[in-house]
Structure formats: C-alpha cells, structure tokens
Amino acid sequence: MQRTDEELNRRASTPQYWFNKSTDLRAAAGALWYCMDQTRNQLVTHDLTLGDGFSMAAATRPVYLMLCGLSLELVYKAILVTLGKEPPARHDLCQLSAAAGIAITPQQKQLLSLLTESIYWAGRYPTPASNRHKAIDDLATIYRELVYDQRALGASSVLHTKDPDPLGWQAFNLVWNAGSTTFFEHLHAHQTRVENV
C-alpha cells in the first residue's frame, strides 16, 4: 500500500505523465475528427457495423469536443506541475489557461468555454446537472457566437457557418500547440535548474 501511494504521488508530481495523457487524449480526439469526414464515415460505420445512415459526425462531435477539452485541461495542468504548483481539481479551461500563463484570443476564450461545458456535461450526458440548468442556454449562446456569422441577405439576415470551422481540428490544434510549446519551455527551464543544483 505504501508503495502505491508513493507511485501515485510520483506520477502526480511528474509533469511528463500529465503531458503524455494530454497527448493520448489529443490523439483520440484526432481519430474521432478523422472519422467525421463524410467519406471516411461510410467506411467506419460499415466496418463497425453501426448501420446504414449512422453519422459519425453527429454521434461523435460532442465526444470529440470533450476529448479536446480534456486534452487541453491536462496540458495546462502539466504546465502547472512543471512550475511546482499543484493542479486544481477543476475543469474550467479559461481559468486553467490563465493559471498556466497561456495568452488566448477572445475567440479562443469562447472555444475554451464551450470545451469546458463539453467536459462537464455536453460530451457525456444529455443534460447538465440539475444545479446547472442554465448551462444549456449558455452553451447554445457560446456555440452560436463561436460558429456562426450573421450576414445580411436583402431585408433579412442569415446565419452562415464560419470557415475554417472554429470547432475543428485546426482551431483546437492551434490552442493545444500553444500549451505544448509553453509546457516544453517550462520543462526545459525546470530541467536546467535541476541540473545546476
């Protein structure tokens, strides 16, 4: 039992464990993103015998977003561990990115807010916890502001999906790479300090 506690403490205080789990979750998100393509959707649904008409994009997009969020959570927590801080037991990606010293744009803040909701509930439950009933409206508002542009069309206006997809792999990867770069900068500085002691 003592050895198990020591092992858990060692893992919790080793930044690379946090970062490696972040990369695992990122890879899983990437696999889902890859399967959401219409052409690959048909191959995957056939190979997995999911049935005609099954849409990987519709079924897995919330899970893809949850995995993206969890991957970012762990890269931010890896940075905090590298800085000698104990990662907080929360999922709020905006707070975690700020604590990790990651600068984000207003659009990236919206993305992190949406991914936070995906971690809490939207990626795994049909509804949020009863004490967070307003979360559905909040998520819908964030989604609408992040994903759509309102364009005038004669006397009326229509919502038009932004290109590139603000929830797509490219947008997520940009945010994740910023965290990864910061992690390795801090890890290198940490290793240099340890070597000089």
Mean pLDDT on 159-179: 93
Q: What does the pLDDT look like over 39-82, one tens digit per residue?
A: 899 999 999 999 989 999 999 999 999 999 999 999 999 999 99
Q: What angle do CA 108, 34, 180 make, to 5 degrees?
A: 40
Q: What angle do CA 162, 166, 169 make, to 5 degrees?
A: 130
pTM as predicted: 0.91
Helix and strand numbers (H, E) in the chain are 8, 2
127: confidence class by pLDDT, cuts 50, 70, 90: very high
Structure tokens at 186: 């801090």
Q: What does the pLDDT look like over 25-41, one tens digit per residue?
A: 999 999 999 999 988 99
Average pLDDT over all residues of the chain = 91
List the chain domain ranges: 2-196
Mean pLDDT on 136-150: 91
* Whole-number Å distance between alpha carbons of 20 and 112: 21
* Whole-number Å distance between alpha carbons of 103 and 74: 17
* Whole-number Å distance between alpha carbons of 22 and 24: 5
**pLDDT for residue 1 is more than 60:** no
- Residue 28: the pLDDT is 98
* Whole-number Å distance between alpha carbons of 186 and 197: 17
Q: Helix (H, G, I), strand (E, B), or coil: what is residue 43? A: helix
